[in-house]
Structure 1
Amino acid sequence: MTLKSASMQRAVLRLAHYAFCFLLLAVVLVPIHIGVFGGFKSMGELMTDPLGFPSPFDPSKYLDLLTGAQGSFWRALTNSLVIAMFTVALTLAVCVMAAFALARIQFRGNALFRNYFMLGLLFPLAVAILPLYLQIRNMHLLDKYLGVILPQTAFQIPMSVLLLRGFFVGIPKDLEDACAIDGYGPLGFLTKMVLPLSTPILSTVAILVLVASWNNFFLPLLIFNANIKFTLPMGVMEFQGQHASEWNMILAYLILAMIPAVALFVAGQKYIVAGLTGGAVKG
């Protein structure tokens, strides 16, 4: 009787687990389903049957966006790509050197500098928005890519340094000694040994920074006034204002704007897992 009760309890728990997973899956997939197929529907069909499949499929909305007949999708995509690429490159250049110094070079104040970097995790963008805007204006960077790239890089530094330092600390000391015997100093050890071994964590940081830059709306909204500089999130806002009654067109734009970041994240997820777990033992 006890075994039977335990078996029934496990079955109920398994059923509840599956039910929760299906519910969570529906919460995630239903909006995506409406967005993807909504772009293939007419407005009447979208309003009357938002969850159904298009009948017939009408790809004209997606084609209009991709061919430039509607809106400025490619211009916004290019702006987002330029800003994201330069943000990633600058973040990696700064954070690799800072993390290497904190992880492999012993100097007075090492712990102080490390804690100073970590304090940046407690400093949200919204708190700094007014002084940040004034500083960017004084530097004459309004309506310029650098006005977004530099602040984005600054706010990505704390987490990036934390991840990179955790990985660099785990690299064996014997490798550093071997490089020293071969005549390489700290810079040679960094370029010849640390960076080639750090592909997982470098890829992790690059993808996380790129996705954060891609999805950033508040900072470009603050810096850019000319719509020729708008990024994809701002392009969605502008497009929605121009086509407020055409929800099928808006859904098509949203899905196209999501594809690059989602594709990159899916393609790099193995590097993200490897990078995050690579520095999990030592820190």
Structure 2
Amino acid sequence: MTATIDGGRRHARPPSPRRHTRLKSVILHGVVLLLSTWVVVPLLFALVGGFKDNGQLSTNPFGLPAPWVPENYTSVLVSGSFWRQLFNSVFIGIATTLIVVVLSAMAAFVFARFAFRGRELIYTLFAMGLMFPFAVAILPLFVLLRTFGLLDNPLGVILPQAAFGVPMTVIVLRAFFRTIPREVEEAATIDGCTSFGFFWRILLPMARPALATVSVLAIVASWNNFFLPLVVFNDPNWWTLPLGVQQFYGQYSSDTARILAYVVLAMVPALAFYAVAERQLIGGLTAGASKG
């Protein structure tokens, strides 16, 4: 802050807007760098630690391996159980996402474009699903799945995951569908388009950013789900990657380096999916914010 003298009086000159903007940018970049370090350092530790043996982890936990031990990774990659768990996670995640998106899109279309008695009450019931903790439902859900013979069956995980994923997806898609002008629907009706035709041919293509966003959220929630597969699957042939990590840790609890290698390889598909879907996710969130 500088000062000027005017008639014997000293006037303080306020800081320039450019300096204030620069300071704000430095602080913001510092916070981002700190958060990035908080995330990246454990990942690098696990990645490098997977190339060590237990002796190196004890004596040199943060240094480079000397020598490198790639057998920790290769032993996991040649294991049939790892690839089977990866396939199970992908299959269950894709199936869950398809059910969630298809059902939620149709329900959100009805809630957004049709007026009928009890619409807001039914929509409120959907919204109340967000306040229902998954852990509270696990006991009656287990009894229900056992009654229908869905234990050790992928449908025993897919259907409950879809049911718990529908409320949030309906809320997101309904808000997006309501931003589509009525004039578009009226023009489609004049051209002879039915309600389902408008939904399928016009509304869904216009809602691709929102559909991509909810699809990413649904598949990530399914991929990270541990509790439900733990309850449903007793057969190791249907275990997903989160269950595989727990089982591998229990089997090799004394071999920390091999556990780190397994954890890193289990994270690779999720990180690759994030890298591919990042643009769609950000684009959907940005479109929703700009249209809201």
Output the CA distance in 2 between the equivalents of 1:197 and 1:237. Answer: 42
Residue of structure 2 equivalent to 1:200: 209
Q: Compared with structure 1, are the counterparts of its residues 16 and 197 closer, same or farther at alpha carbon in structure 2 (3 Å cutoff)?
A: closer
Structure 1 position 23, deviation (Å): 3.2
After TM superposition, the score normalised by the length of structure 2 is 0.89
Residue of structure 1 equivalent to 2:63: 52
Structure 1 position 12, deviation (Å): 7.7
- 1:143 aligned residue (152, 157, 160): 152
- 2:251 aligned residue (231, 242, 262): 242
Letter in 1 for 2:76: L
In structure 2, list runs of 5 or more residues that go unmatched: 4-12
Output the CA distance in 2 between the equivalents of 1:5 and 1:37. Answer: 51
SS of residue matched to 2:253 = coil
Matched, 1:165 2:174: yes
SS of residue matched to 1:124 = coil
- 2:87 aligned residue (78, 82, 87): 78
Output the CA distance in 2 between the equivalents of 1:23 and 1:259. Answer: 23
Output the CA distance in 1 between the equivalents of 2:115 and 2:280. Answer: 29
- 1:105 aligned residue (114, 119, 125): 114
- Pairs within 5 Å for 1:257-268: 257-268=266-277
Residue of structure 1 equivalent to 2:34: 23
Output the CA distance in 1 between the equivalents of 2:245 and 2:30. Answer: 35
Structure 1 position 154, deviation (Å): 0.5
Output the CA distance in 1 between the equivalents of 2:23 and 2:66. Answer: 40
Structure 1 position 200, deviation (Å): 1.0
Residue of structure 1 equivalent to 2:131: 122
Letter in 1 for 2:171: L
- 2:74 aligned residue (56, 63, 67): 63
Structure 1 position 271, deviation (Å): 1.5
Residue of structure 1 equivalent to 2:43: 32
Output the CA distance in 1 between the equivalents of 2:32 and 2:178. Answer: 38
Output the CA distance in 2 between the equivalents of 1:225 and 1:232. Answer: 14
Matched residues, number: 280
Output the CA distance in 1 between the equivalents of 2:153 and 2:100. Answer: 18
Q: Compared with structure 1, are the counterparts of its residues 104 and 30 closer, same or farther at alpha carbon in structure 2 (3 Å cutoff)?
A: same
| Deviation sequence 1:229-279 (CA, Å, 0-9, x none) | 110000000011111111111111111111111211222122112222333
CA contact (8 A) 1:88 1:206 kept: yes
Letter in 2 for 1:36: L
Letter in 1 for 2:163: A
Output the CA distance in 2 between the equivalents of 1:255 and 1:136. Answer: 33
Q: Could you say what the CA RMSD is over the residues aligned between the two structures, in angstroms?
A: 2.1
CA contact (8 A) 1:99 1:161 kept: yes
Structure 1 position 20, deviation (Å): 4.1
Segment of structure 1 superposing worse, 37-46 or 138-147: 37-46
Matched, 1:190 2:203: no
After TM superposition, the score normalised by the length of structure 1 is 0.92
Higher-Rg member (1/2): 2
Letter in 2 for 1:114: Y
SS of residue matched to 1:205 = helix
Output the CA distance in 2 between the equivalents of 1:5 and 1:51. Answer: 48
| Deviation sequence 1:53-88 (CA, Å, 0-9, x none) | 2223322211111122xx721111111111111101
- 2:162 aligned residue (153, 159, 183): 153
Structure 1 position 18, deviation (Å): 5.2
In structure 1, list runs of 5 or more residues that go unmatched: none
SS of residue matched to 1:240 = helix
